[in-house]
Chains A and B, each alone.
Chain A
């Protein structure tokens, strides 16, 4: 199982536009990906916009991504890169 930890860079946290973009990207990988806070039992399906929004990850907070299957490492790397940008700056 592949795991990555990343700090949310978006100023508004992981909701609104950043959440939409993240969920779209996670869905596009075709893998089962989960997102949650490290060490906490709150992981949600990364392809569920409602789940991701309800997670309520704020700017500067660490989140943990996990995925299984072929290409999991590459998929997580690309998602980490996405979350490391301020997605609300357009």
Chain B
């Protein structure tokens, strides 16, 4: 490779580091065509012994681990000793499965149950499968899946790390973590952040990087650079120091240098996110995605069940605003209890508010639960609908929201039609929020899920900025506030442009708030308006970014 190649993922634990790659051993699968055991009873004894050995190994590691790791390892050991698991394996052995296939089958039976329960339980499936994989390796007499021994400071790369692996990482030797899957709330993310190891998740192709290749990990920017130069690594470290100093220099509500307020809010997708974001320096939640309440359920969750979940989400934000997006499901994220059947073009089909129109009882139950939880917690709850295209839809939604006793109704502006007619759409409601990811998808006619089209989906596309400008102009006529809750809001340069276009709140991953706050604090509102004009006059997305980068305060330009 002549030039250093950089790959992007999601930074989940800040910091910069570099070192050679260590690839984690993938799990061993049961051998194909494993014969039935001659004596199922004896095989079960063998399987039980393997489960016990795995439990003891996990406990031995728990003994030397710190508090959090100890809890996770002890709980995982309990799974290995679970009688139900052994019983299920015994049943499969008696039915003619080989020992490792029986272990795998037993694990998958429980995994299916837990996946169906959803939420917290679905996340435990990783722990369960880890127990299964370790037991299979033990039965086959091969080394357990996981991190091979290494002796120099290295970057650990894996598909995803099991909690047992993350928990026992040697901090002195593991300088960075890169995973191909995993998410912001995975064990890997939580433990890496706790241990102060820079980590990036969802890095495409990470497991194909050859062992020993030097890489630089930027846990702030969420990037991994393969074969970096020494100068690059040095720059990464100083940049990080400068960034830390800059971020520490501002706090509190977002405002431009001349005092124009821009509320800085968090995007959250569940109770864990809410608990994590609550203590942070944010003015509230700008986007609470409620899908998790519905997607994993077999039957529609009751009002009481939903109220309890919403209460837990709102509680950390008592006295602050929480903008809730009502159920956003469709043919691509079908609900077990409200499946309207397959569609040719799910992104253009009956999703978001259109699904709520077909099944209004689902929306009413959700609104009732939200109203109850709002009353119990004292959070300033505002509700908005996804996929609104017309003023009639906005009016229909607002009426239902108010009938359920919620004071504020809003709409997502993500359909170009609604952006162009925002004056009429917003006249029906109290606020608007630009979902820039979907707005880009619909403006550029490019599928969000198709990676090859990512250039078209660039939030700097001048056409998308034009639509945002139109939506903000319409909002201004009505006097209704317009926010942004798509990814654009967390980009410090784009945040300035959006502010200049008239956006009055920005919602983003909580980790991005500090940089956006810093960017705002360096610029006046007229400067933001000028940056917006510069971006819109550019011919291409790349030109828009470059021109804005060249025009912002040098203290910001040197950091991004």
Contact = CB atoms under 8 A, between A and B. Distances in A.
Nearest to B131: A50
Interface string B121-138: 100100010000000000
B83 interface: yes
B83 A53 contact: no
Nearest to B74: A20
B471 interface: no
Contacts of A4: none
Interface string B493-520: 0000000000000000000000000000
A45 B83 contact: yes
Contacts of A56: 117, 121
Nearest to B83: A48
Contacts of B79: 49-50
Given A23-B78, A53-B121, A17 B71 contact: yes
Nearest to A13: B120
B113 A54 contact: yes
Interface residues of B, number: 18
A51 B114 CA distance: 11
Interface in A1-42: 12, 15-17, 20, 23-24
A57 B554 CA distance: 56
Given A20-B78, A24-B78, A54-B113, A47 B83 contact: yes
Contacts of A24: 78
Nearest to B88: A50
Contact of B84 (A15, A17, A50, A59): A50
B117 A48 contact: no
A24 B74 CA distance: 10
Contacts of A23: 78
A51 B121 CA distance: 12
Contact of B82 (A16, A17, A49): A49
Contacts of B75: 16-17, 20, 49
A48 B120 contact: no
Interface in B210-232: none
Contacts of B308: 58-59
Nearest to A48: B84
A74 to B, nearest CB: 23
Contacts of A45: 83-84
Given A24-B78, A45-B83, A53 B71 contact: no
Interface in B107-122: 110, 113-114, 117, 120-121
Most buried by B among A15, A16, A49, A51: A49
A17 B308 CA distance: 20
B78 A49 contact: yes
Nearest to A59: B308
Contacts of B121: 15, 53-54, 56
Interface of B: 71, 74-75, 78-79, 82-85, 110, 113-114, 117, 120-121, 124, 128, 308
Interface of A: 12, 15-17, 20, 23-24, 44-45, 47-51, 53-54, 56, 58-59
